[in-house]
């Protein structure tokens, strides 16, 4: 009946709208359910150990004492290390690709950088065990400690085993680089031509234009890319587990083995036989989930801010 369409959506439209709404709502619902489920499962451990779950370094499954501090510390330090290494590289790559690369080089290089994100984590791990870790042990660590005389500082002291916080940070840096780089590239290319021309017309050289007009304009978007990379680094499990050494101890030295929340869960989940151990692992999962969520919300907010600026 054609007349009804003037007054309301037809039955087909209503079904369609209902279906798509249901699909769209199911994703946030899933996230909420996941969070609730993890929190409920973690509750016994969190209640039993309270704040010491976050601050204590004792993780003793046999005696039922669980403090996740070394894993939390390891996750944060290895991710921060990854960002410190990857951010300048990624921004450099993005600046080259968006500002300097000749057209014929732009696509291939961008493709290969993006391809880094497609390599399976376990392959990075294997490469880490057989190439990166020996390289660190034989060359890099002795060089840093002895040649650069950094061995006396707490950050580079101790024996060079190979598997270490440094190895984890390096492998994470390679893994997050494509994320930071491709977001940065997009943001740089979104800087309006008017901004570039304004700088050039005032007598800026190309580099002055990039430094003085393009990068400041893009800064919060770049920040969003960095935090997206951080989100990736925080949750990365396989490759890190394979090279970090998995020792439940906090050490200032980057040469020392460490642990991350993700590797802790991955390593112990299958062996968790009693309820408290399982609940402690869930607690670690809850902490990791909370940190990752917050980081992603901040990233989204920063990117949103730069987009709003660009429209204004």
Partner 1 sequence: MTTTHTGAVAVEHYSFWYGPKQALFDITLDLAPQTITALIGPSGCGKSTFLRSINRMHDLLPGTRSTGRILLDGDDVLAPSLDVVHLRQRVGMVFQRSNPFPKSIYDNVAYGPRLNRSPSRTETDEVVEQALRRAALWDEVKDRLRESAMGLSGGQQQRLCIARALANEPDVLLLDEPCSALDPIATQHIEELLWELKKDLTIVIVTHNLQQAGRVSDHTAFFYLGQLVEHGPTEQLFTAPREERTEAYITGRFG
Per CB under 8 A, which region of 44-52, 86-94, 106-114, 202-210 contacts partner 1?
Answer: 202-210
CA atoms of 75 and 68, how far apart (whole Å): 11
Is 154 a binding residue for partner 1 by CB under 8 A? The answer is no
- Rank residues 12 and 102 by Cβ distance to partner 1 and give the closer one: 102
Within the chain, what is the greatest distance between any pair of CA atoms?
Answer: 87
Is 107 a binding residue for partner 1 by CB under 8 A? The answer is no
Of residues 293-312, those binding partner 1 (CB under 8 A): 309, 312
SS3 59: strand
Shortest separation between residue 143's beta carbon and partner 1, angstroms: 39
CA 123 to chain centroid: 18
CA atoms of 229 and 178, how far apart (whole Å): 8
Of residues 163-192, those binding partner 1 (CB under 8 A): 192
Is 11 a binding residue for partner 1 by CB under 8 A? The answer is no
| Single residue of 156, 179, 217, 255 touching partner 1 by CB under 8 A | 217
Shortest separation between residue 96's beta carbon and partner 1, angstroms: 17
Is 95 a binding residue for partner 1 by CB under 8 A? The answer is no
239 in Cβ contact with 228 (< 8 Å) = no
Per CB under 8 A, which region of 144-152, 175-183, 208-216, 241-249 contacts partner 1?
Answer: 208-216
Is 208 a binding residue for partner 1 by CB under 8 A? The answer is yes
Shortest separation between residue 215's beta carbon and partner 1, angstroms: 12
Which residue intervals of the chain are DSSP H helices? Answer: 4-7, 11-49, 52-55, 69-95, 103-115, 121-127, 133-135, 141-142, 165-189, 193-201, 206-209, 215-235, 238-243, 261-268, 275-311
Is 56 a binding residue for partner 1 by CB under 8 A? The answer is no
Is 216 a binding residue for partner 1 by CB under 8 A? The answer is yes
CA atoms of 146 and 142, how far apart (whole Å): 6
| Single residue of 69, 71, 213, 302 touching partner 1 by CB under 8 A | 213
Shortest separation between residue 15's beta carbon and partner 1, angstroms: 46
Question: Which residue from 82, 78, 100 is spatially nearest to 90, judged by alpha carbons?
Answer: 82
- Rank residues 13 and 197 by Cβ distance to partner 1 and give the closer one: 197
In the structure encoding, which two tokens stand for residue 67, read together? 């403090």
Shortest separation between residue 209's beta carbon and partner 1, angstroms: 10
Is 195 a binding residue for partner 1 by CB under 8 A? The answer is yes
* DSSP letters for 235-298: H--HHHHHHS-------S-TTS----HHHHHHHHGGG--SHHHHHHHHHHHHHHHHHHHHHHHH
Is 203 a binding residue for partner 1 by CB under 8 A? The answer is yes
Is 200 a binding residue for partner 1 by CB under 8 A? The answer is yes
Shortest separation between residue 192's beta carbon and partner 1, angstroms: 7
| Interface with partner 1: number of residues (CB under 8 A) | 20
Is 289 a binding residue for partner 1 by CB under 8 A? The answer is no
Shortest separation between residue 195's beta carbon and partner 1, angstroms: 6
265 in Cβ contact with 149 (< 8 Å) = no
Question: Which residue from 207, 190, 184 is spatially nearest to 89, judged by alpha carbons?
Answer: 184
| Single residue of 54, 204, 250, 276 touching partner 1 by CB under 8 A | 204
CA atoms of 170 and 164, how far apart (whole Å): 10
Is 202 a binding residue for partner 1 by CB under 8 A? The answer is yes
Chain contacts with partner 1 (rule: CB under 8 A): 192, 194-205, 208, 212-213, 216-217, 309, 312
């Amino acid at each position: 009946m054609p007349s009804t369409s003037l007054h309301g959506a037809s039955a087909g439209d209503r079904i369609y709208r209902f279906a798509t709404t249901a699909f769209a709502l199911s994703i946030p619902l899933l996230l909420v359910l996941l969070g609730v489920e993890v929190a409920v499962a973690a509750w016994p451990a969190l209640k039993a150990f309270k704040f010491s779950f976050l601050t204590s370094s004792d993780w003793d499954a046999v005696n039922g004492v669980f403090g996740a501090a070394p894993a939390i510390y390891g996750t944060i330090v290895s991710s921060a290390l990854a960002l410190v290494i990857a951010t300048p590289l990624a921004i450099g790559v993005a600046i080259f690709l968006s500002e300097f690369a000749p057209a014929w080089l732009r696509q291939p290089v961008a493709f290969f950088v993006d391809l880094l994100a497609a390599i399976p984590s376990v392959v990075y791990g294997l490469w880490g065990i057989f190439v990166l870790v020996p390289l660190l042990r034989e060359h890099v660590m002795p060089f840093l400690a002895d040649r650069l005389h950094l061995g006396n500082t707490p950050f580079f002291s101790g024996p060079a085993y190979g598997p270490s916080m440094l190895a984890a940070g390096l492998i994470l840096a390679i893994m997050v680089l494509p994320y930071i780089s491709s977001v940065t590239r997009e943001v740089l290319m979104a800087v309006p031509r008017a901004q570039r021309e304004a700088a050039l017309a005032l007598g800026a050289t190309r580099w002055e234009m990039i430094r003085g007009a393009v990068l400041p304009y893009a800064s919060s978007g770049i920040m969003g890319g960095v935090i997206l990379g951080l989100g990736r680094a925080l949750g990365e499990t396989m490759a890190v587990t394979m090279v970090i050494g998995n020792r439940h101890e906090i050490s200032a030295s980057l040469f020392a083995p460490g642990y991350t929340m993700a590797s802790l869960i991955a390593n112990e989940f299958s062996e968790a036989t009693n309820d408290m151990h399982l609940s402690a692992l869930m607690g670690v999962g809850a902490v990791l989930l909370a940190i990752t969520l917050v980081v992603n919300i901040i990233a989204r907010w920063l990117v949103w801010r730069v987009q709003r600026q660009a429209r204004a």
